[in-house]
């Protein structure tokens, strides 16, 4: 994904309702970490099959700010056992690229993974997610990464001999002027 500071970036996670034969309850929890520079909009929507689910009735979202500036999101499904095998699970949400975004080819990663029940022979004691007495009852998928790239450019005003001009001023124009951010200003003094 490419964007500019101030842009909204949309994320979509997809899965399918698994075979839950043998389970009396089933944990289905999505974990996501937005890097510093991606400001979570707290706008999660979830669809299972053709039904859009209401937050706080069918799922809960918890967002936590981390010490490194990233945001951890946890989406916990309530009573997931009620869904039909192979129905599509689609989770959508968005974030704003803010002034803490990394500019350049390192990018701003978003990392998600799914935690799910993996042993129907264990008694699951937690309600919708593992409780403190639930040991080895879930597995996790490999991390799924997306990276949002924010571009930058360096402007240097020179004369006809390619000498830098002292105190050069620029006017930047374009369609997204409100998305332009001056990261650093360096003025070079002309040599005598």
Spatial distance between the Cα atoms of 118 and 137, rounded to a whole number of angstroms: 6
Spatial distance between the Cα atoms of 57 and 106, rounded to a whole number of angstroms: 39
Note the pLDDT of residue 173. Answer: 64
Contact 146, 1 (CB under 8 A): yes
Mean pLDDT by 10 residues, the chain (192 residues): 84 96 96 94 97 96 95 97 97 92 82 95 92 91 86 72 77 58 49 46
Contact 180, 97 (CB under 8 A): no
Global pTM reads 0.79
Spatial distance between the Cα atoms of 92 and 30, rounded to a whole number of angstroms: 12
Note the pLDDT of residue 114. Answer: 96
Note the pLDDT of residue 6. Answer: 85
Note the pLDDT of residue 192. Answer: 44
Note the pLDDT of residue 104. Answer: 77
Note the pLDDT of residue 190. Answer: 46
Antiparallel, parallel or unpaired: β 144-150 and 2-3: parallel
Task: Count other Cβ atoms within 10 Å, centred on residue 168.
Answer: 14
């Amino acid at each position: 994904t490419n964007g500019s500071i101030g842009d909204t970036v949309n994320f979509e996670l997809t899965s399918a309702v698994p075979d839950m034969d043998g389970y009396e309850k089933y944990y289905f929890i999505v974990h996501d970490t937005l890097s510093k520079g991606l400001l979570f909009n707290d706008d999660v929507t979830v669809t299972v099959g053709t039904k859009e689910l209401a937050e706080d009735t069918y799922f809960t979202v918890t967002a936590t700010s981390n010490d490194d500036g990233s945001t951890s999101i946890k989406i916990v499904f309530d009573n997931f056992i009620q869904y039909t095998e192979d129905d599509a699970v689609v989770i959508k949400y968005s974030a704003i690229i803010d002034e803490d975004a990394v500019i350049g080819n390192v990018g701003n990663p978003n990392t998600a993974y799914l935690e799910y029940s993996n042993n129907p022979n264990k008694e699951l004691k937690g309600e919708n997610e593992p409780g403190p007495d639930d040991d080895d009852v879930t597995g996790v998928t490999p991390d799924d990464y997306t990276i949002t790239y924010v571009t930058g450019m360096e402007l240097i005003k020179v004369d006809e001999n390619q000498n830098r001009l002292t105190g050069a001023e620029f006017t930047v124009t374009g369609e997204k002027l409100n998305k332009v951010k001056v990261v650093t200003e360096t003025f070079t003094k002309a040599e005598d």
